Chain A
Amino acid sequence: NAGVIQTPRHKVTGKGQEATLWCEPISGHSAVFWYRQTIVQGLEFLTYFRNQAPIDDSGMPKERFSAQMPNQSHSTLKIQSTQPQDSAVYLCASKDRGDERLFFGHGTKLSVL
């Protein structure tokens, strides 16, 4: 069990560019969550999927951010026209049905210059 895999570990983009972050959940887990971590805001919930269907995206900024889960083995978080304030560590977590524990990936550190 390799755990939750996030790629890339680090990403540097220029202001206005697009960034796509990838997450591979633990095999067999039914839910995938995206969080963003910054010093100022802490751990912020962004969105989550259950059985690949979007369940709650209440934490997602309405503009420029989107997430998808095209199959059970990966999810993507896309940020269009990145801004310096998007700089953060983006964390993906997965959860098995009937188990309340979240298993986190190591995160993708996004730096927008």
Chain B
Amino acid sequence: AQKVTQTQTSISVVEKTTVTMDCVYETRDSSYFLFWYKQTASGEIVFLIRQDSYKKENATVGHYSLNFQKPKSSIGLIITATQIEDSAVYFCAMREGEGGRALIFGTGTTVSVSP
């Protein structure tokens, strides 16, 4: 069965610095998709970035990048040059590639960015 684990409950950083969040996953499938989503204070959940299991290169979108370590079943999210509006809850998620499975989420990491 698939499982996603985020052990960091909360992280506080100062604006313009870099924050790194951890996520480990469990799957028996050889093909899977990994995602990070952000939930703002208003409750809105938005997609940030994605990593396909067969791709060796780490995905990067804007100031979001991933640290994909397949042997460790790890997919960390890195946010560089943080801004106040990056304060949110960040969810790691996974979808197994076989059989039309649904997206399963981790428990989330709350990031607080202060001036």
Contacts and interface: CB of A to CB of B under 8 A. Distances in A.
Contacts of B115: none
Contacts of A107: 43
Interface stretch (B23-31, B45-53, B66-74): B45-53
Contacts, number: 42
Interface residues of B, number: 21
A48 B47 CA distance: 18
A45 B103 contact: yes
Nearest to A91: B45
Taking residues whose C-beta sits less than 8 angstroms from the other chain, chain A's interface range is 20 to 34
Interface string A30-57: 0001010000001101001010000110
Interface of B: 33, 35, 37, 42-47, 50, 91, 95, 100-108
15 contacts: A33-B102, A35-B105, A42-B106, A42-B107, A42-B108, A45-B103, A48-B102, A56-B101, A89-B43, A93-B45, A101-B47, A101-B50, A103-B47, A106-B43, A106-B44
Interface of A: 33, 35, 42-43, 45, 48, 50, 55-56, 59, 89, 91, 93, 100-104, 106-107
